[in-house]
Amino acid sequence: MRIKRVLKNNITYLHLVEEGYSPEKKKGENKIIKVLGVEEQELARPLNDMTEEFAVVWAEDRTLGNAVPFSERVIGKFPEEDSGSGVILPCDIVPCGKFRNGAERWWCRTHQVHWGVKADLQQAVQGDEGIRCSNCTQPMHYTKNPLVINPDDYDGSLDGLLERFAPYREVHIELAQPLPIEKLMTYGNVQLLEGRSVHFMVSREALTRTVSKILTDLEVIDLTVTEPPVEEVIGRVFQAGVV
């Protein structure tokens, strides 16, 4: 058995065929055993150029191997909610070169696994579901039409994102003795106060002036200035909904 591509109306269908020999015609012939499904087109453009509906999916308990199905057939199986988990989704098959023995192989973008080995073909013969990869029963997390961030769109790449979505610095100080929060708030936005340890949020424009005033007015044992965590910056990007 092997897979044969059949093009109809600009759609590539995958047929499971059995090769044989016709004594009457004195030549080989292919007998169609089953029409398996559709071979999707490979992604030809970068994500930030895509305008049609798409989604990002990933397997339960996994954070790597995110997939991006564009097929309307796959998208149509998503629940109405924009994001969710525990969803069983159909396979999204695209061509992926050949196996070592020269046989054609495909890649399931939904479940991130190759398809086309002998076991896959046997399953296709015995089942009624058409193309089903070995990971087809995995519950999947999904997000529809996710925000696509291209760091190249910002001056300085990540620095550009920080300038736009995190226009502040975190100032951490350790005092010689505790002070009331009312006094500390005159120096900036107090994010955390634990005994002699204080965390301020200070705008970039006021940073130099604020640090100088803190060191002049207060008895400081230690002072550190840091960028906000990258995870927090990305979270602000998603909350804004635009890049």
Any idea what the CATH number is for the domain that residue 219 is in?
Answer: 3.30.70
Using CA atoms, how far apart are residues 191 and 185, in angstroms rounded to an integer?
Answer: 10
Q: Identify the domain containing residue 121 by its residue range.
A: 40-144
Query: Which helix (H) or strand (E) segment is 74 a member of?
Result: helix 72-75
Sign of the alpha-carbon dihedral angle for 81, 82, 85, 90: positive
> Of 90, 109, 144, which one is at a domain's C-terminal end?
144
Q: How confident is the model at residue 63 (pLDDT cuts 50, 70, 90)?
A: low
Give the tokens for residue 54.
Answer: 């798409």
Q: CA 199 → CA 9, 64, 175, distances in Å?
A: 64, 34, 11
Are 138 and 162 part of one and the same domain? no
Are 205 and 229 part of one and the same domain? yes
* pLDDT, average across residues 22-38: 74
Residue 215: pLDDT over 50: yes
Are 158 and 234 part of one and the same domain? yes
The predicted pLDDT at position 3 comes to: 78
Q: How confident is the model at residue 164 (pLDDT cuts 50, 70, 90)?
A: low
66 or 48, which is more confident: 66
Residue 78: pLDDT over 50: yes
Are 159 and 125 part of one and the same domain? no
Residue of 39, 98, 85, 46 lying closest to 68 (CA atoms)? 46
Give the pTM. Answer: 0.51
Per the domain annotation, does 15 fall within a domain? no
Q: How many residues are listed for the chain in this entry?
A: 243
Which stretches within 84-155 are classed as H helix? 118-126
- The structural domain count of the chain equals 2
The predicted pLDDT at position 184 comes to: 93
> Of 144, 171, 201, which one is at a domain's C-terminal end?
144
> Of 97, 113, 144, which one is at a domain's C-terminal end?
144
Residue 228: pLDDT over 50: yes
Q: Strand pairing partners for 44?
A: none
The predicted pLDDT at position 243 comes to: 45
